[in-house]
Structure 1
Amino acid sequence: MALAEKTQRKINELLVGSGIPARYRASTFETYRTDGKAEKAAVLEACREYAERFVENFQDGRCLLLLGNLGTGKTHLACSIVQYVVRNLQAQAVITSASEIIRVAKGAMNRAAKYTERDALEELAGFDLLVIDELGAQGGTEYELGLLHEVIDRRYREMRPTVVVSNMSAQEVAKYIGDRAVDRLRENGGKAVGFTWGSARREVLE
């Protein structure tokens, strides 16, 4: 009983530090709605398989890209992956937006900051799993793109799995962060999963 309680405390601590937004704290593979659509069932299965095989994916540094239309459940499934690896493997998994990574790194430039940009990059490189959400929602300045490329490259060199979530297509992502970064993400069997149907949010409004 004591061991079970200790394990649960660790899981709770990891979940608190995972960065899962309040809106997605109940997001799991079981709560993702496929509505009987084959394409939705396919992306669900791809994400579930990535999570269930995370030990192997971690050892191989294998990444995943969730790409496509707004409002199709990409962040839901990304959070589901984080939930799974934390609850089942007690892995240190974190989801954050590309904008937040940039904000934190820029914060290091403040004289009052108690950390450096290098500190931020090293922390991001150390997580067992890092999910970068909303890639491409930024202005895309030379500094921002260089920073995001550095995060991906550092994790690649450390063989740490990274999941990238974007409303862009695979071609647009390559143009945005560069072919080299995408090659890093696709190396060793990294998959790009396409969310190509219309927005569920738009359907509700209509």
Structure 2
Amino acid sequence: MTKCLICQDRGLILNEKGEYEKCQCLSKKDLSLKQEKSFIPPLYRNMTFADFDLSYYSKYHIDRERNISYYESAQRALKAAINFVKLLTTNQPVKGLYFSGPVGSGKTLLAAIIANEALKAGKDVLFVVVPEYLEKIKQSFGDENDGYLIEKALSTELLILDDLGAHNYTEWTKNTLYLIINHRLYYQLPVVITTNISLEDLENYLGERTTSRIFELCHHYWLPVDLDIRLRKTRGM
């Protein structure tokens, strides 16, 4: 059964100039493969900036510490993400992003959209959920590909560290994260971080050295919500 109605699964189409070019179905397959290799969660692979819905953020509730509404705070984060992608994909210097906020505030969605857009522009991306990633590194010790996960995190053009939460960080995990953050700071390689820890409280979990480097490496954006967005979607709210 033919899947693509444009090229009839041949992969090539004839353009207006009479030249053969790659069909868009192949481009989608290429992107899907890149997303899989980059570890972007399947749930977020079709997401674009149009899917980041600002209506979930209240215009009436005020973040007293920053003296702006939840809506304005989310709007700032969205604009920062769009600008980040623009700079990254046009090979301009770009500082990383640190998205903090409660569970279900859209942090991972925004980070995944950034990853998708970067991949579309041909950038090398690695998206890792921090606790799972650190466990995979431990399990890989002694394997044939020992060191690959660390090397990938050090060298990839864009690293997404998702869920840098309030976990039980051992000295080994702290040192591993420091190694990655420090290397990327020195080589000016951007990082996007999502976490439920405010930048002010981060030192209590990761220590002074790593926190200081994240301060230098990233701009901080806060995503506040009244209720977990996932729950609101499930309940049709």
The alignment's TM-score, normalised by the length of structure 2, stands at 0.74
Report the equivalent of 2:74: 40
Matched AA of 1:200: I
CA drift of 1:10 comes to: 4.5
Q: Matched residues in 2 for 1:176 and 1:60: separation?
A: 29
Report the equivalent of 2:39: 19
Q: Matched residues in 1 for 2:86 and 2:213: separation?
A: 22
Q: Matched residues in 2 for 1:149 and 1:61: separation?
A: 20
CA drift of 1:195 comes to: 1.2
CA drift of 1:21 comes to: 0.8
Which of residues 178, 197, 205 is equivalent to 2:225?
197
Q: Matched residues in 2 for 1:16 and 1:170: separation?
A: 30
Q: 1:59 to 1:154 in 2, by over 3 A?
A: farther
Report the equivalent of 2:118: 85
Which of residues 87, 90, 99 is equivalent to 1:53?
87
CA drift of 1:59 comes to: 5.2
1:20 partner SS: coil
Q: Matched residues in 1 for 2:123 and 2:154: separation?
A: 14
Q: Matched residues in 2 for 1:68 and 1:187: separation?
A: 20
Report the equivalent of 2:145: 115
Matched AA of 1:180: R
Runs of 4+ in 1 over 3 A off after TM superposition: 1-7, 9-13, 58-61, 201-206
Can you list the C-alpha shifts for 1:139-167, whole angstroms capped at 9, x where unaligned?
Answer: 11111111111111122233211111101
Q: Matched residues in 1 for 2:203 and 2:47: separation?
A: 29
Can you list the C-alpha shifts for 1:155-188, whole angstroms capped at 9, x where unaligned?
Answer: 2233211111101111222322223323323326
2:50 partner SS: coil
Is contact 1:11–1:90 with CA below 8 Å preserved after alignment? no
Q: Matched residues in 1 for 2:43 and 2:166: separation?
A: 19
Can you list the C-alpha shifts for 1:61-116, whole angstroms capped at 9, x where unaligned?
Answer: 621111111111000000010011111x210112111112211221133x4x2132
Is contact 1:98–1:148 with CA below 8 Å preserved after alignment? no
Name the structure where helix makes up a greater proportion of residues.
Answer: 1
Matches within 5 A, 1:57-76: 60=93, 62-76=95-109
Q: Matched residues in 1 for 2:119 and 2:148: separation?
A: 24
Report the equivalent of 2:186: 157
For the pair shown, which has the larger CA radius of gyration, 1 or 2?
2
Matched AA of 1:84: E
Matches within 5 A, 1:123-162: 123-162=152-191
1:72 partner SS: coil
The alignment's TM-score, normalised by the length of structure 1, stands at 0.84
Q: 1:143 to 1:38 in 2, by over 3 A?
A: same
